[in-house]
Amino acid sequence: MKLFETTLATLSAGLIATSSLAAPTDILFILDGSGSMWGQIDGEAKISTAKSTLTQLMDDVPTQARVGLMTYGTTSKESCTDVQVLNALGTDRTAIKASISGITPLGKTPIQTALMQGITMLSGAEPADIQKSLVLVSDGIETCDGDPCTIAGLAKSSGVNMNIHVVGFDVDAETRAQLECIAENGGGQYFDAADTSGFQSAMQEAVILAQATVEPEPAPEPVPEGPVITEFFRDDFDGEDISDSWILTNPDPESYVVEDGALLMLSTSPNPFTEENGTNLITYTGDMPDGDWDAKVTFTGELTASGNVLHFGLWKDTDNFMASSFYANKAGSCWSTSASLTKTSKGEKEEVSRIYRAHVPSLGNCYTKLPKGPEDWSTILGDHETLPTTLTLSKRGRSYTASLEMEGVTLEDGTPFKVITDQFTALRAPGELTFGMGRYGNNATGEMLLLVDSVVINAVEE
């Protein structure tokens, strides 16, 4: 008896320690009142241990909880509908203790019927937005041909936060399996008790768990608007030379250097994509993403020469490539910067382009959508020395486009200003990702100095 009282005191202390953390909760106890509860454990009838423990719990369950009590098997030896609601949720604890005292085991174990009534009671109790827990105490298996394991699953679909915890008191393997299934399907936990102290500990744990706040199901991840972009490769040129991710074709060490986190390139030569023995063609040695991708090169530069400046694309040889290019073109009355896309297959060339910024944007095809209108050419060139510009080659399916944007250049609504070319199609990749710089044709004069800040390849999933 002294051990029993000590264990109850420990149980009480544990529940009091958790009461400050408890939120408003509905707890419905279903206590087995079948004849088998007269069986003895540690020299005492199981029903006596269960009643003493549950009576003590009535003093220690936090006042924030509304408690109710059900039992079964207490009025008939043969009835499979012998389920009694002794106390509704929120009944005074003194009245519940009186009901516990009056329970006398007698009949069968209609667990399915008890669970159905208990789930109905909890799901219909207001307020509906608090946690609701059912604590079933049983020492035996369903004896009325019911399927309580399946019925327990209704707790999850009841429309409220509900779970079912089960304490099995001195049960055999078959009974344990059924009671474990009830707890699992009811979203709760099973506690196995083989003796008096084990039962008291199990009841304490079950009640503490019944008070815990059930975390709501996490909200589904928002479906991203537009494509999902994942960085696949990046080179910020932080070393002392070009990394092993690249190989140089016809290198000219006097015309490039890697320093201060950038690749500095100098050229007075024609476009290396189209010229035999073009110098300093830099080709990526790694794999490209499967499916769609964007390949981006970001740079600043001194653009004193006229014509195309930076070439960035899939290059096989001078007769076969798909290349985006950046132009700084001072020709006739249309002084402009632009992006172009060139498809060359077996020497046959097609090209599309889009004006980005223009000195005189009102003449013929010299047109930009920037709202500021005509710009001073020296301002455009000065911006390119300080504002990073990004040239992008994009693959979508078998189609390719080129695009161009400059940091800080925006439309009237503040969105970045970007131009995108028309598309070309290639059934197979027309080469390896390559970049280089050079003037348009042999007749152009002046030099070009570019500082390449980074090359990035992004995988794109629509």
CATH number at residue 444: 2.60.120.200
Give yes or no: residues 279 and 404 share one domain: yes
Output the six-digit token pair for 143: 């004896």
- Is 60 exceeded by the pLDDT of residue 363? no
Report how many domains make up the chain. 2
User: How far is the C-alpha of 197 from the C-alpha of 61, rounded, in Å?
Assistant: 19
Mean of the pLDDT values across residues 40-55?
94
Q: Which residue has the higher pLDDT, 104 or 366?
A: 104
Model confidence at 344, pLDDT cuts 50, 70, 90, reads very high
**Residue 108 belongs to domain with CATH number:** 3.40.50.410
The whole-number pLDDT of residue 335 equals 82
User: How far is the C-alpha of 316 from the C-alpha of 293, rounded, in Å?
Assistant: 19
Give yes or no: residues 303 and 446 share one domain: yes
Segment 206-221, tens digit of pLDDT? 998 888 554 556 777 7
Segment 441-452, tens digit of pLDDT? 555 567 788 999
The whole-number pLDDT of residue 3 equals 41
Strand intervals (E) in 33-161: 40-41, 44-45, 65-72, 83-87, 131-138
Give yes or no: residues 183 and 280 share one domain: no
Give yes or no: residues 234 and 205 share one domain: no
Mean of the pLDDT values across residues 7-30?
62
- Block residue for tokens 């030569």: 269
- Is 50 exceeded by the pLDDT of residue 261? yes
On whether the CB atoms of residues 394 and 324 are closer than 8 A, the answer is: no
Cite the DSSP H helix spans in 352-459.
Answer: 377-386
Of 182, 211, 240, the domain-final residue: 211
The whole-number pLDDT of residue 378 equals 86
Mean of the pLDDT values across residues 164-181?
96
Segment 124-166, tens digit of pLDDT? 999 988 889 999 999 999 999 999 999 999 998 888 999 999 9
Give yes or no: residues 237 and 180 share one domain: no
Mean of the pLDDT values across residues 237-247?
94
Mean of the pLDDT values across residues 99-125?
95
The whole-number pLDDT of residue 462 equals 80
Q: Which residue has the higher pLDDT, 267 or 390?
A: 390
Give yes or no: residues 132 and 176 share one domain: yes
Share of the chain above pLDDT 70, in %: 88
Q: Which residue has the higher pLDDT, 221 or 101?
A: 101
Mean of the pLDDT values across residues 283-306?
91
The whole-number pLDDT of residue 13 equals 47
Flag whether the pTM goes above 0.75: no
User: How far is the C-alpha of 255 from the C-alpha of 437, rounded, in Å?
Assistant: 10
- Is 80 exceeded by the pLDDT of residue 321? yes
Model confidence at 305, pLDDT cuts 50, 70, 90, reads low
Instruction: Estimate the crossing angle of helix 196-211 against helix 46-60, to 10 degrees.
Output: 40
- Block residue for tokens 């936090």: 62
The whole-number pLDDT of residue 276 equals 86
Range of the domain at 391: 228-461
Bridge partners of residue 40, in order along the sequence:
45
> Is residue 379 domain-resident?
yes
Output the six-digit token pair for 282: 């830099």
- Is 70 exceeded by the pLDDT of residue 69? yes
- Is 90 exceeded by the pLDDT of residue 459? yes
The whole-number pLDDT of residue 244 equals 95
Give yes or no: residues 256 and 134 share one domain: no
User: How far is the C-alpha of 314 from the C-alpha of 302, rounded, in Å?
Assistant: 25
The whole-number pLDDT of residue 129 equals 87
Mean of the pLDDT values across residues 197-208?
91
Segment 20-47, tens digit of pLDDT? 455 688 999 999 999 999 999 999 999 9
Give yes or no: residues 56 and 85 share one domain: yes
Of 211, 236, 264, the domain-final residue: 211
- Is 80 exceeded by the pLDDT of residue 431? yes
What Cα–Cα distance (Å) separates residue 135 from each residue in 165, 214, 338?
5, 15, 73
Of 152, 179, 211, the domain-final residue: 211
Give yes or no: residues 249 and 321 share one domain: yes
Output the six-digit token pair for 106: 């007698």
Q: Which residue has the higher pLDDT, 445 or 325?
A: 325
Model confidence at 7, pLDDT cuts 50, 70, 90, reads very low
> Is residue 61 domain-resident?
yes
Segment 408-417, tens digit of pLDDT? 998 888 899 9
Mean pLDDT of the chain: 88
Give yes or no: residues 200 and 305 share one domain: no
Cite the DSSP H helix spans in 69-126.
Answer: 93-101, 111-123
Q: Which amino acid is at 247?
A: I
Average the pLDDT over each of 151-165, 169-183, 373-387 and give the range with the smallest value. 373-387
> Is residue 77 domain-resident?
yes
Model confidence at 61, pLDDT cuts 50, 70, 90, reads confident
> Is residue 7 domain-resident?
no
> Is residue 145 domain-resident?
yes
Give yes or no: residues 181 and 232 share one domain: no
Model confidence at 52, pLDDT cuts 50, 70, 90, reads very high
Q: Which residue has the higher pLDDT, 67 or 210?
A: 67
The whole-number pLDDT of residue 268 equals 77
> Is residue 1 domain-resident?
no
> Is residue 218 domain-resident?
no
